[in-house]
Structure 1
Amino acid sequence: MSTNNKEQINSYEAQKVYYTQKIEENPDWELAGIFADKGLSGTSLKKRDNFNKMIAACKRGRIDTILTKSLSRFARNTVDCLETVRMLRARGIGVIFEKENINTLTESNEFLITLFSGFAQAESESLSGNIARGKMMSMQAGNVPFQYKKLLGYREGEDGKPEIDPEEAKTVRRIYRRYLDGCSLSQIQRELEADHVPTARGIQRWSYQVIHNILTNERYIGDALLGKTYVLDCISKEVRKNNGERPQYYVENNHPAIIPREWFQRVKEEMTRRASKRKVMQRHGKTELGKYSAKYALSELLVCGECGTPYKRCTWARNGKKRIVWRCVSRLEFGTKYCHSSPTLDEEKLHQAILEALNEFAQADSEVKEDMLNFTRLVWAGQEADGTSLISLKQRLGDITAEQALLLDRVLENMNDPDLNAQLKALMDEKQAVQEQIQAMEQEAAQSENRMSRMAELREWMAKLGVNTEYNDEQVRMAVERITVVDIETIHIKFRYPGLEIDKKLN
């Protein structure tokens, strides 16, 4: 038990003893009850259960006078205090504040009540401000709090520091892996619930928001962003998201990581890609191209060679027989107005052609696959920065900032000097250019880490790739970047590896 909790309990017990003695000292009083809440600030009535029970007893006529040691024990919110006192006085019930020597049934005492309750509220606001400053100093020092009951994958170690919970960490990695495999949040939710996987709170019911929070929580890469939310004030206790109103602090490598940084970055990129899918005109509202679909891989990959519009899976029913086909969305919505000759493709033939292409790739010699991997690595390496040192750029930025400060002092002394103003503008322009270079290089460094991660995945996937007898959406997502419908008999498959593109016939 903490020291604060002990003090709260001792204070609570002391209040009970105090009021019991007061009743004994006044034999003409009849005790209706002792109402005290443990360890609450008194700035809000919502969670003061015993206080609310006392008010309810007053409304039922069980209490005619309330004795309280001081006004701050009654309420530390001026509005709540006055409203409660007025309500009780309207019912003929008085409140006696011993320390302040106030009886609320005397009308002249309302000013004093307002005054003293204002003091009590100000005291709470001061304490709240001290606590907020203490938390801010703690964040500045890099102290990271952990709520283990709400954070899947971690538990408190013997040394008091966070350590990885192996079983829960498997669930976290599974969620990231499935999302990068192309699954939607709803698919991941169904899989977890079907396998009876528990959440951090131990329940087996998942929500989209919980899964989304796991996918966007920097704690899983060993970092911590402090100051995500803040309490507006000690009276309303409203918690708001910090959108720049208060300082935030980012602590790197604070605890063991469950997932690689590359996975975290790729999830962010994939979320952005899914959210930024453009919408097209819709005539009947039957289809929505701006919404990511994880149900079928071809919904993301298959496009019309004539108009560039994605294809959509449809069910045809003729003569009592159902047939699954894929059709150009533009043709579905607008007929031949924009797309004149896009063919309708039978799903079974389409799957067979893609499967054959994957199997041809799987049967390639190991040397051919290694050459493809090396070529991919060289292409990606060609996208790296031009060799400019990030350290030298940051050093130059520091020099510019120092020069800018000195030059600004001279400009302030000679506001009308055109040469000084021109030098200051040139320096500010250079500073902005250097800042943009630094930002671009930091983004490129993150992308480079992603490429290394993808190369490792490609190598692992190629090693496991075998000849399949059935079409598999996950295999297609992993290997294929785009499939273009050339005509009713031909599709053009572009793999995720630079330079690997083939045409396949639909038999």
Structure 2
Amino acid sequence: MKRAAIYARFSTDLQDERSIEDQASLCRKYAERESLDVVAVFDDRARSGGSILGRDGLLALMDKARERSFDVIVVEALDRLSRDMEDLAGIHKRLSFLGIEIRAVHEGVVNTVLVGLRGLVGQLYREDNAHKVRRGQAGRVGKGLNAGGLTYGYEPVAGDPGKRSIVEAEAEIVRRIFREYVDGRTPRDIAHDLNAERITPPRGRAWNASTINGNMLRGNGILNNELYAGRLVWNKVRMVKDPDTGKRISRPNAESDWQATDVPDQAIVSRELFDAAQKRKKARSITNPNQQRRPRHILSGLLKCAACGAGMASNGKDPSGRIRIRCSAATESGICPDPKTFYLDTVEAAVLNGLTAELRHPEVIAEYVRTYHAERKRLTAEADRKRLRLERRLGELNREIDRLVDAIAKGQGDPAVLGPKSTLLDGERKKITAELAETAPTTEAVALHPAMLARYEEQLTRLQAALADGIRNGDTECSEAIRDLIETVTVFRDSTRAGGVQVEISGRLTALLGEQAYPNRVRGVWGKMVAEEGLEPPTQGL
């Protein structure tokens, strides 16, 4: 008797939990009829069939399949396994390789043809449902109803889908934000006060400047939300699923795709106040282009707070003119658990001393070479696969064109049909030939790029030369050299010494090797190091 595993799934938490038990019961009856011994049941509850990612039941089933724990998988229908053509085909391919059958109660033993048909039908069904949902949402917005999601200051009306009412306590906070912003206060200052007063934020653990200011392109944030002025705007963003992670990602839509409806009964602030806020936002967004392109300091945008992981930014100067830096979370919203203030020049010195010493450490060079070699092998393998695919297609085109030419020469077939087809294929052949000419020839991956160590020493020499003059004179060469090597710098307080600073540096391998080493411009983090201020050498190794 063959051993069987049952798999069941339902899509959303709006569906009946009994669906899993019903599917399993149906599969058990099928197993009895087919004389199968059910040895395991796997399920995924409230999980979309659009991706295999995040489906623990299916992943556990595939793990057990590799252990040959069963011989057959029974499902109610193939769309329970997946509604994505690529995923369903991949599951079938891997199970077939393991010698495990897939049987569907309503379709019987699954073969390649059935996988192709059901995969196509399942994906079309899923995509069609998405279009219908958006069409329904557009209709609701046209009637002034909520198309989904919660907005701070409002709550849904029970028993009346799509309707929402104003929550007066939250609405007063919205009015306060608009008034204070128009009166000249910054979003950061407003967020500070709201956190200090322990006012519950729309989401997350604290108010911050981005909650209030938002993103103009995406149309989010309290100051950008026209609903507060009595105008409902929908379709500012669309959600797409990353095929590699299964996560849904928002993408901004063009303003021409937005749909707007006037809802004066939903207004919390006056149109005049809303427009005044937009006018001030526009005025504040105008920045000198030179300031937009160039970092003000060597480590601008690279510093991180060790206590909370947030970025660090300048925070004024002391009486002697030394620049202080402080955790942005502490400055923006006051929520850093251990906010510390450091001197920027102290941190820069720790980073620069640590960087020059640690980059010459043998373990760093060894890791650097290992990562380089792994990436070179990957790029070489990708180039080989691409060239092989192009050469195979070129051979097919040559044979097909030869057959068409022979047929025309022998008077077989209509030249008016065969001629244009031959011309079309020849165009594709020329395109592939040109692409092959641009593709680097297949070569063995070398263990060490000839210029690698020379490039390494050159970069370090450039760094040291830049430090000698650049730090004192504010030369941009110094900043470029440092930023070329560093990914992030995490700043710690050294509790063993008064005023002591520790930094953890994460660097970029690609910058050390140069663009020619990695034609795809892969930016890999090659390792971490710790540098302490005031020690010679700055620290021990990795």
Higher alpha-carbon Rg: 1
The structure richer in strand per residue is 2
